[in-house]
């Protein structure tokens, strides 16, 4: 039996836009409905988590989990510039209370890709006042974060900087990642630092951001190692290095990419792939955690996403088993890992890919919204109850 540290958090994660439904004041809603949109389909009602979160949290808790990561939606809280919806702040406070009532430690993310339409229209992360506007939003949310320990300021700023590069968002499911906008990356870092300062004005809050670790592999050919550094630094490594001094760093790991002297290689034809076209590679988590620990200079790690898009739930269990075995090896080597949050709690809207890639521990009917917990949820819940594999 592989035992995990006392007090280890076992949970699952969601993002507001991907599960709540009808996030009509967000920038993504506009993109989904734009003529010629690259999105496979619009998010629509999503999983109606906005109304059904009590049931969803209860299912996670009854399975045996003790943690739930979710995001609060800036576009709902500040739907027009300068207007704050007190009702929406109250809604998210009720979500925090409901998590607590179910024995779930709430991990709250302040920005998970989506921003208000007005923020994008007024210059997005390139606007001179972008950091001030985000800081004002964080100050607005701060009063509802009493008794929340882990707060993620910005989800995957490395992916956000790539999305800001102006390339097709559907590239995120391909083997070659878009070119990041480095100026946006700097702005996101400033926003993260300002947000962390605001969060630290409340005792007990631990602040960090979450990074999509890529597990880049060199092919070993001449020039491949140099290309890995050139390609990987602005897409992954820099963000982990900038996490130095934070309270924690969130690791979000799924697969790997081989880098040759010319750049990223397509996924090999002879390996198992997932519904996103990624290689089935459970070791990505251990590699991501080790990279985060080393590059940040020993900042504690919280696994904020790890999972697999598959219609075969037995492969989800196999993937998660392998990922957790690797995570245990990292912990045994002295890396401070605080918890594991599976992506995702629910089948959800996977951005440009629509609803086809199913990552959830819980399925749902798109018409009735009836929930269908999968065997993988019961399996992970039992791991959580034992605190051991």
Parse the chain into domains and list their residue ranges: 9-211+311-386
Is 156 tagged catalytic? yes
Q: Are 257 and 264 in contact (CB under 8 A)?
A: yes
pLDDT at 167 over 60: no
| Residues 178-197 as b or e (16 or more Cβ within 10 Å = b) | bebbeebbebbbebbbbbbe
Sign of the alpha-carbon dihedral angle for 227, 231, 234, 236: negative
Cβ neighbours for 62, distance < 8 A, ≥ 6 positions apart: 381
Alpha carbon separation from 41 to 127, 352, 353, 359, 365 (Å, rounded): 29, 8, 8, 17, 17
pLDDT at 164: 85
pLDDT at 175: 63
Nearest to 150, CA basis, from 208, 190, 93, 72: 208
Could you report how far apart the first and last alpha carbons of the chain are, in Å? 6
pLDDT at 88: 99
Q: Is the peptide bond before 344 cis (omega within 30 degrees of 0)?
A: yes
% of the chain surpassing 90 pLDDT? 95
Under the banding of pLDDT at 50, 70 and 90, the label for residue 163 is confident
Which position has the higher pLDDT, 217 or 172?
Answer: 217
Under the banding of pLDDT at 50, 70 and 90, the label for residue 173 is very low
Summarised one tens digit per residue, pLDDT across range 247-266 is 999 999 999 999 999 999 99
Average pLDDT of the chain, as a whole number: 96
Is 20 tagged catalytic? no
Nearest to 164, CA basis, from 134, 228, 119: 119
Mean pLDDT value of segment 135-152: 98
From the candidates 20, 73, 156, 350, which is the catalytic residue? 156
Summarised one tens digit per residue, pLDDT across range 280-313 is 999 999 999 999 999 999 999 999 999 999 999 9
The Cα–Cα gap between 25 and 79 comes to 6
Which position has the token pair 């993620």? 152
Q: Are 100 and 147 in contact (CB under 8 A)?
A: yes
Alpha carbon separation from 125 to 113, 129, 211 (Å, rounded): 12, 9, 18
Cβ neighbours for 278, distance < 8 A, ≥ 6 positions apart: 173, 254, 255, 267, 309
% of the chain surpassing 70 pLDDT? 97
Q: Does domain 9-211+311-386 have CATH number 3.10.129.10?
A: no
Under the banding of pLDDT at 50, 70 and 90, the label for residue 166 is low
Under the banding of pLDDT at 50, 70 and 90, the label for residue 243 is very high
pLDDT at 170 over 90: no
pLDDT at 63: 98
The torsion angles phi and psi of 263, rounded to 5 degrees, stand at 125, -160
Summarised one tens digit per residue, pLDDT across range 321-374 is 999 999 999 999 999 999 999 999 999 999 999 999 999 999 999 999 999 999
Under the banding of pLDDT at 50, 70 and 90, the label for residue 178 is confident
Summarised one tens digit per residue, pLDDT across range 37-96 is 999 999 999 999 999 999 999 999 999 999 999 999 999 999 999 999 999 999 999 999
From the candidates 32, 78, 286, 305, which is the catalytic residue? 305
pLDDT at 176: 74
Pinpoint the alpha helices (H) of the chain: 16-19, 27-33, 49-63, 74-77, 86-101, 117-121, 130-141, 157-163, 182-199, 224-232, 238-241, 284-296, 313-332, 375-386
The Cα–Cα gap between 338 and 256 comes to 23
- pTM of the complete model beyond 0.95: yes
């Amino acid at each position: 039996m592989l035992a995990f540290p006392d007090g280890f958090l076992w949970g699952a994660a969601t993002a507001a836009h991907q599960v709540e439904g009808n996030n009509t004041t967000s920038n993504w809603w506009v993109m989904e409905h734009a003529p010629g949109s690259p999105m496979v389909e619009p998010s629509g009602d999503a999983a109606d988590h906005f109304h059904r979160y009590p049931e969803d949290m209860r299912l996670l808790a009854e399975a045996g989990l003790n943690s739930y990561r979710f995001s609060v939606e800036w576009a709902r809280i500040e739907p027009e510039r300068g207007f704050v919806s007190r009702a929406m702040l109250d809604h998210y406070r009720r979500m925090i209370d409901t998590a607590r009532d179910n024995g779930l430690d709430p991990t709250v993310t302040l920005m998970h890709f989506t921003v208000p339409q007005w923020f994008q229209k007024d210059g997005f992360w390139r606007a001179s006042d972008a950091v001030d506007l985000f800081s004002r939003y964080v100050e607005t949310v701060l009063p509802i974060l009493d008794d929340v320990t882990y707060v993620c300021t910005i989800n995957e700023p490395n992916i956000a900087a790539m999305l800001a590069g102006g390339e097709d968002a559907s590239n995120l499911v391909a083997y070659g990642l878009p070119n990041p906008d480095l100026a946006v990356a700097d702005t996101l870092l400033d926003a993260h630092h300002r947000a962390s300062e605001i969060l630290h004005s409340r005792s007990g809050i631990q602040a960090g951001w979450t990074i999509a670790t890529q597990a880049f592999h060199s092919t070993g050919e001449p020039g491949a190692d140099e290309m890995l550094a050139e390609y990987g630094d602005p897409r992954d490594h820099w963000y982990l290095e900038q996490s130095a001094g934070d309270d924690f760093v969130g690791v979000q790991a799924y697969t790997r990419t081989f880098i040759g002297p010319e750049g990223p290689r397509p996924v090999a034809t002879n390996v198992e792939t997932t519904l996103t076209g990624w290689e089935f590679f459970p070791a990505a988590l251990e590699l991501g955690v080790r990279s985060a620990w080393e590059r940040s200079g020993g900042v504690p790690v919280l696994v904020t996403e790890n999972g697999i898009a598959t219609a075969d739930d037995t492969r989800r269990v196999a993937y998660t088993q392998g990922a957790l075995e690797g995570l245990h090896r990292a912990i045994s080597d002295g890396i401070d890992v605080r918890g594991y949050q599976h992506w995702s709690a629910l089948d959800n809207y996977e951005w440009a890919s629509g609803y086809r890639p199913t990552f959830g521990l819980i399925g749902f009917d798109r018409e009735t919204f009836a929930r269908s917990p999968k065997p993988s949820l019961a399996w992970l819940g039992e791991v959580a109850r034992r605190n051991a594999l």
